[in-house]
Amino acid sequence: MIVIKLIWESIRFAIQALKSNLTRTILSLLGVTVGIFAIIAVFTLVDSLENNIKNSLSFLGNNVMSIDKFDYVSSGPEYPWWKYFRRPNNSYSEYTFLSSSVKNADAVTIFADANVTVQAGNNSYSGTSLKGVAFSYKDVYDVPIDVGRYFTELEITSARNVIILGVKIAKSLFPSTDPLGKEVKIRGQKYVVIGLFEEEGEALFDTPSKDEACMIPYGSFTKLYNVGRYGMGPSIALKGREDDTGLISLENEVRGLMRAKRGLKPTQEDDFSINKSEYIMNTIGSIFDVISGAGWIIGGFSILVGGFGIANIMFVSVKERTNIIGIQKSLGAKNYFILFQFLFEAMFLSLIGGITGIIMVFLITFIDLGSLELILSLSNIILGLGVSSLIGIVSGIVPATLAARLDPVEAIRST
């Protein structure tokens, strides 16, 4: 009960301080408000951007690694593209070898990509991403089908001309009819539509979208393009086990199997690259960590100014209430009671500024930014309240200590 009374009395004194000199209080709290707004706004923007980008890169898969000619992580002027370019393409025999040999993977698949124009009657859709896949593709990557179905194993093994279309392509080619069962033409070959991907919508960046993609069996793809050692290079992808943190076991196993399959000597370096989706995700995360750090710096200066403002209010409050402090101590109030009374008041004042800053961030989440959806998370709200409370405690500790150490006789005599 004493603690509750103490908190209530501190809140009452804080409200009185707000009312007694409203302009001074608002100007003092403005620093905390701006600081919390800057930090939480940056964190909200960073979290929203990071989630949007990671969703846009969902095609990379989760816990997935791929075997390719090129290293997707390395870049810059020192990138040895000439060395990677001379590497051999993956082959279907390597895919079957890994499928039967690898033990640390839940699934193995092979696929190849190309940009094509899809036609249906007098309608056509250019710039389509065509992917030829093995039956196990759905076990490695997410293939969300909205209407229709995925390929059967027989359709894959017999290389039948069937196709799954993206929503944008289907609407463009068949604006007024159901596309299922209809025929489309790619490079002179006819394909029967058996399914439609779920609509993904606009991405923040120009990343591949299933809305403008289509998928056919791998064997059908090889009818259109020369794929393999001396043609277009396919990718081999493997999905690791959930308990294989960082895919370390799978990476070591795949490296050994690929080197054995290609007959590489111990002194020879790899003539393939193992790319893991987590590499790209970690790179994105490190970039946003830097942006978050900048947000702390920008908001930190504003909060520092706000902290000085609250300290100023508390020093004035101690000066104005010296008589009251003397009376309280003469009636038996302990030093800690006076100390916590002013600390609670400082924290309450700082919380007002923090809550105002959070409300401002919440209001900007209603701004339409196209494909970027701003979301104020609970963790950021707690962070804002925690930081503002901490600033209040730090700003109020000195004046609260001075108030607690006042001599009751001298305090009562003061004017």
277-311 per-position pLDDT tens digit: 766 666 666 777 777 777 778 777 777 877 888 88
Is the pLDDT higher at 118 or at 23? Answer: 118
Which range has the worst mean pLDDT, 47-51, 176-180, 396-400? 47-51
pLDDT band at 159 (very low <50, low <70, confident <90, very high): very high
In the block, which residue shows the tokens 């393009």? 225
In this prediction, residue 132 carries a pLDDT of 94
Q: Give 287: exposed, middle or buried? Use CB within 10 Å, 0-12, 13-18, 19+.
A: middle
In this prediction, residue 282 carries a pLDDT of 66
Q: Is the pLDDT of residue 108 over 70?
A: yes
Question: What's the mean pLDDT in 54-65?
Answer: 67
In this prediction, residue 42 carries a pLDDT of 80
Question: What's the mean pLDDT in 306-332?
Answer: 79
Q: What is the pLDDT of residues 365-413, one digit of tens each?
A: 888 776 667 888 888 889 888 888 888 888 888 888 888 888 777 777 7
In this prediction, residue 134 carries a pLDDT of 94
In this prediction, residue 58 carries a pLDDT of 56
Q: Is the pLDDT of residue 344 over 90?
A: no
In this prediction, residue 135 carries a pLDDT of 94
pTM for the predicted model, two decimal places? 0.64
Is the pLDDT higher at 24 or at 64? Answer: 64
Q: Is the pLDDT of residue 207 over 60?
A: no
Pairing of strands 162-165, 189-197: parallel
In this prediction, residue 237 carries a pLDDT of 92
Which range has the worst mean pLDDT, 3-17, 92-106, 344-358? 3-17
Q: Is the pLDDT of residue 203 over 60?
A: no
Cβ neighbors of 369 (< 8 A, separation 6 or more) are none
Percent of the chain past pLDDT 90, that is, above it, reads: 27
Q: Is the pLDDT of residue 186 over 90?
A: yes
Q: Give 358: exposed, middle or buried? Use CB within 10 Å, 0-12, 13-18, 19+.
A: buried
Q: Is the pLDDT of residue 14 over 80?
A: no
Nearest to 45 by CA among 377, 276, 300: 377
pLDDT band at 169 (very low <50, low <70, confident <90, very high): very high
Is the pLDDT higher at 376 or at 25? Answer: 376
For the chain, the residue count is: 415
243's tokens: 């308990």
Q: What is the dihedral of CA 279, 281, 283, 288, to 10 degrees?
A: -170
**Are the C-beta atoms of 35 and 395 separated by less than 8 Å?**
no
**Are the C-beta atoms of 109 and 134 separated by less than 8 Å?**
yes
**Are the C-beta atoms of 344 and 4 separated by less than 8 Å?**
no
Average pLDDT over all residues of the chain? 82
Cβ neighbors of 103 (< 8 A, separation 6 or more) are 253
Q: Is 131 left (phi over 0), alpha (psi -120 to 50) or beta?
A: beta
pLDDT band at 78 (very low <50, low <70, confident <90, very high): low
Give the Cα separation of 179 and 184 in Å (integer): 9
Cα–Cα distances in Å, from 22 out to 15, 103, 208, 308, 324? Answer: 10, 71, 55, 17, 22
In this prediction, residue 172 carries a pLDDT of 92
302's tokens: 């504003």
CB count within 10 Å of CB 383 equals 17
In this prediction, residue 351 carries a pLDDT of 86
**Are the C-beta atoms of 309 and 32 separated by less than 8 Å?**
yes
Secondary structure (H, E, C), the chain:
CHHHHHHHHHHHHHHHHHHHCHHHHHHHHHHHHHHHHHHHHHHHHHHHHHHHHHHHCHHHCCCEEEEECCCCCCCCCCCCHHHHHCCCCCCHHHHHHHHHHCCCEEEEEEEEEEEEEEEECCEEEEEEEEEEECCCHHHHCCCCEEEECCCCHHHHHCCCCEEEECHHHHHHHCCCCCCCCCEEEECCEEEEEEEEECCCCCCCCCCCCHHHEEEEEHHHHHHHCCECCCCECCEEEEEECCCCHHHHHHHHHHHHHHHHHCCCCCCCCCCCEEEEHHHHHHHHHHHHHHHHHHHHHHHHHHHHHHHHHHHHHHHHHHHHCHHHHHHHHHCCCCHHHHHHHHHHHHHHHHHHHHHHHHHHHHHHCCCCECCECCCCCHHHHHHHHHHHHHHHHHHHHHHHHHHHCCCHHHHHHCC
